[in-house]
Amino acid sequence: MCYGEPKMQYGKLKEDSEGLIERAEILKRWEVKDKFLLDLGAGPLAIIAARDFNCTVTNIDISEGALSDAKRDAANEGVAGRIRFEKGDATSLPYPNGCFEVVISYGVLHHIEIAKRRRFIQEACRVASEKIIVAELTLEGFQRIHAVSKFQMVNLEWLETELNSFGEVDKYEGTLMNVYTLFLFTTENLC
C-alpha cells in the first residue's frame, strides 16, 4: 500500500538545451542519493545516479540494443560496477515487493502501450519502498519530440489520478516535461 506525504515547494528545475528537465535536477530535488534505484528504460539517468549520487542502480529495458549502448556508456564513465543491466518488461517486473528504495521512469511511459500503462504504474509501486518518480512529456514536449512516431502521448491527467490512487503526489510542471513523485512508506526488505 502506498501513502502520500505533503506536497513539496521548490523553485524551477534546470532544463537542457532541448527543453527537457535535467536528470540530475530530478535526483537532487527528490533526494535520490545513496539509494538502491530501479531505472525503467535504458538511458543516461542510471549513469548520473551511480556516478554523481552514489546510487546502486538496476537498469532495465526491453531492448537489447539500448542495454548494450547503456553498458558501453557506463563502462566509459567508470560506473559499470555500480549498475546492473537487465533485459525486462516494466509491466511485469521480476523483483520482490519493496526491493528498491526508488523507482524512476524518465520519459518512458509513452513508449508503453496504453492498455499496459496502469500495470506499469502498479509494478513500479509494488517494487518501490520509498518513492516513485515519473517524468513524462507534456503535450508540447510530445509534439516536439515524437510528432511523427508510433508512440502515443500519456494523458497526464490520467497519470496524476492513477498515482494519486496510491497516495498524495508531488507534481512539478516543466516546459516540455512534468515530474510526478509518489512517496511510499513500507517496511519491506531490499533485494
Global pTM value? 0.90
The domain of 113 spans 23-183
Q: Which band of pLDDT confidence, cut at 50, 70 and 90, is reported for residue 191?
A: low
Tell whether 65 is covered by a domain.
Answer: yes
Tell whether 30 is covered by a domain.
Answer: yes
Measure the CA–CA gap between 55 and 96, rounded to whole angstroms: 19
Tell whether 128 is covered by a domain.
Answer: yes
Q: Are the C-beta atoms of residues 90 and 124 closer than 8 Å to each other? A: yes
Tell whether 97 is covered by a domain.
Answer: yes
Tell whether 5 is covered by a domain.
Answer: no
Residue 110 is which amino acid? H
Question: What's the confidence (pLDDT) of residue 52?
Answer: 98
Q: Are strands 169-173 and 177-183 parallel, antiparallel or unpaired?
A: antiparallel
Tell whether 17 is covered by a domain.
Answer: no
| Of 52, 50, 183, 59, the residue nearest 129 (C-alpha) | 183
Tell whether 158 is covered by a domain.
Answer: yes
Q: Give the CATH number, domain containing residue 93.
A: 3.40.50.150
- State how many domains the chain has: 1
Tell whether 59 is covered by a domain.
Answer: yes
Owner of C-alpha cell 527543453: 19
